[in-house]
Chains A and B, each alone.
Chain A
Amino acid sequence: MSAPTTLLFTAHDAEVAAAQQRRSERRARAQLLLRYTALAAVAVLMLYPIVWLVGASFKSNAEIFGDAGFWPQHLDVSSYAKGWKTSTEFTFATYFLNSFLIAVPRIVVTVISCVLVAYAFARFEFWGKKLLFSIMVATMMLPHVILRIPQYLMFREFGWLDGYLPIIVPSAFATDTFFVFMLVQFLRGIPRDMEEAAMIDGCNPLQLLWHIIVPMLKPAIVSVVVFQFIWTMNDFMSPLIYLSTVEKYPVSLALKMSIGATEEVEWSSAIAISVVALLPSVAVFFAAQRHFIDSAASSGIKG
């Protein structure tokens, strides 16, 4: 008679277990809902200024100050056209081109110089390495303003004023120490076995850098590119100090010009062109996002 008893017990047991599972599933769903609601609320709060900016770019000047909501009464794209033309003789196409003429070479020299310096700090033993590294890290604490005057005087002597060289050339000497620091930290996290294997395979230090380290550093290099692009696009101070010809102005200065010192400010076109000015940075960020994720997870090291 023991077999049926066991069976009965099992059936009851299963029922209890199923009920328990249903309860815990319900609880998990409720928790998930709560979590997403909280996250969504914070996200809306953070994103609202940008959403408002996009909405306002379609509004008329009067509506911008009359209505706190972000939805425009009618879609008016004329601000974009007016903002793009600017009050100067050049359109924003010129200013965007100027921004790229600064950003692209600057990114190239930054990546080359920072990777070389980081490689040296992370992988070679040389006299004074620790001292030099701490001096480099200390310069991160130095406010850039302090360097403005000596740098300005120096570049004036070189005859580089009213050109892009004062903005680009300093980056060729790995002065963006934050990037060097970031790359060094990333390199320290990569096991050295692959490099040792490559040394046995016949690599010299430069081949090692090019064939092995750079491919593995790719996610970190992509971050450098993205940050340097966004920071250069947003940089207002350096172009303001070094550039005097309007034709050479980058987007950041041109935006300031559209607010103008004279007469009434065309807020709607200034806002419209701000939205356009945001686009390259946003585009670069999303294009690079894939590489942030595709990081050292693909390493050939097991252990």
Chain B
Amino acid sequence: MAQLSLHKIEKIYPNGFQAVHGIDLAVRDGEFMVFVGPSGCAKSTVLRMIAGLESISGGQLRIGNQVVNHLAAKQRGIAMVFQNYALYPHMKVRENLAFGLKLAGLPKAEINQRVADAAELLEMGHLLDRYPKQLSGGQAQRVAVGRAIVKRPEVFLFDEPLSNLDAKLRAAMRVRLTELHQSLRARGQPATVVYVTHDQTEAMTMGERICVLKDGRIQQVDTPTALYDRPANAFVAGFIGSPEMNLQPAQLVCAGDGLALQWAEVQLPLPDAKAAKLRLNAPCAVTLGLRPEHISVLPPQGGSALVAGTLRFTEHMGSEVFVHATIGGLPFTARVPADALGTLAGKARGDSQLFHLQPAALHVFDAATGVNLLL
């Protein structure tokens, strides 16, 4: 296993389009790093550059202590799991697993041992003599992971490996991959993993650290909780979390001795601790951010600001309910426990409802650049 470091990595296509703008990132030895971002953010391009499937236009890529910019894919000590599995259709599962080892010239006994180990680890011993077309999606996925494991690579690369599975299987495989990473670590073979996904749930649940990308630039690299609690900018704030954070244009205004945020006709007082961090002269335009769980129909613990909104509709998720409403014509979402639903009983679309907003949980972003002003 090895650490992976990207230093000012760039990708410029022959037509002049720059897809990746000087990325700096260090993935620690044995770390599970997730690249997440919307379509077209170049997360897959970065992964393919690490794999050696895409040339690197600028910067330096190191795996372990070696610069690998100009090494062929096979010399980089990596293994990759593809979105559509890319199993060799004319080979049985056993041959699919052994193919890379055979090319590497490993002795037959060792190949058999490694294939058997991987089959046991992924519980697919009964699949070894099948052809890929005889496998279900989940099974093919496991074989693809197995093909990576037998190689005992320095770095594992995953390119949206779960996006072809149905929702239920995806959740199961998520748990399985996380467990696999932990069990490899327990065995003393910690695996450095770079995992690409567009699904923030996958990123939050699997990643030890997450790298959020947008338009070929890194927005923030941190642990899932840190990303959630302290997003570096409005983009990260909106991308991480489901339902997404309420982001609204607001005015920073003076209110008494302190500061407040003027949102539609509502004035939310900013707690002193937060106000102290702001280096702005009120009044000025900002973007206000408040996660749905910090808006409730019941009075929360601690202070809250009471605001009247107009109900639009609700989404029942089982244990909780997403309440969609507007305040002064601006839409927002609240996330309330299902047992608080009694408060909404008998209310219809267009009815007025009082919401409790928690000013202590407010985020303030720069209106132009989106930078988090409270960090």
Contact = CB atoms under 8 A, between A and B. Distances in A.
Given A199-B53, A201-B100, A300 B78 contact: no
Contacts of B80: 196-197, 200
B83 A202 contact: no
A201 B137 CA distance: 22
A301 interface: yes
Given A212-B88, A302-B140, A302-B164, A200 B73 contact: yes
Interface in B58-98: 72-74, 78-80, 82-90
Contacts of B83: 193, 303
B133 interface: yes
A197 B103 contact: no
Contacts of B228: none
Contact of B133 (A191, A197, A216, A298): A298
A201 B74 contact: yes
A302 B137 contact: yes
A199 B103 CA distance: 11
A216 B82 contact: no
Nearest to A194: B86
A207 interface: yes
A4 interface: no
Contacts of A189: none
Interface in B275-333: none
A215 interface: yes
Interface string A189-225: 0010110111111110001000110011010000000
A303 B164 CA distance: 7
Q: Which secondary structure dominates where chain A touches chain B?
A: helix
Interface residues of B, number: 30
A197 B86 contact: yes
Contact of B84 (A191, A207, A298): A191
B86 A193 contact: yes
Nearest to B151: A201
Contacts of A218: 90
Contact of B85 (A216, A297, A300): A300
A2 interface: no
B53 A215 contact: no
Contacts of A302: 84-85, 137, 140, 164
Given A200-B78, A200-B79, A216 B89 contact: yes
A5 B90 CA distance: 62
A216 B78 CA distance: 25
Contacts of B89: 194, 215-216, 298-301
Contacts of B82: 193, 196-197
A200 B147 CA distance: 11
A196 B88 contact: no
The residue in A202, A215, A300 that gathers the most chain B C-beta atoms within 10 A of its C-beta is A300
Nearest to A215: B90
Nearest to B80: A200
A91 B86 CA distance: 54
B231 interface: no
Nearest to B99: A201
Given A300-B85, A300-B132, A302-B85, A200 B140 contact: no
Contacts of B345: none
A198 B53 CA distance: 11
A203 B53 CA distance: 13
Interface string A56-80: 0000000000000000000000000
A267 B53 CA distance: 65
B104 interface: yes
24 contacts: A191-B84, A191-B86, A193-B82, A194-B86, A194-B88, A194-B89, A196-B82, A197-B86, A197-B88, A198-B88, A199-B53, A200-B74, A200-B79, A201-B151, A202-B104, A215-B88, A215-B90, A216-B89, A216-B90, A298-B89, A299-B133, A300-B132, A300-B140, A303-B83
Given A196-B53, A203-B74, A302-B140, 8 more contacts: A193-B84, A194-B88, A196-B51, A196-B80, A199-B52, A199-B73, A298-B131, A302-B137
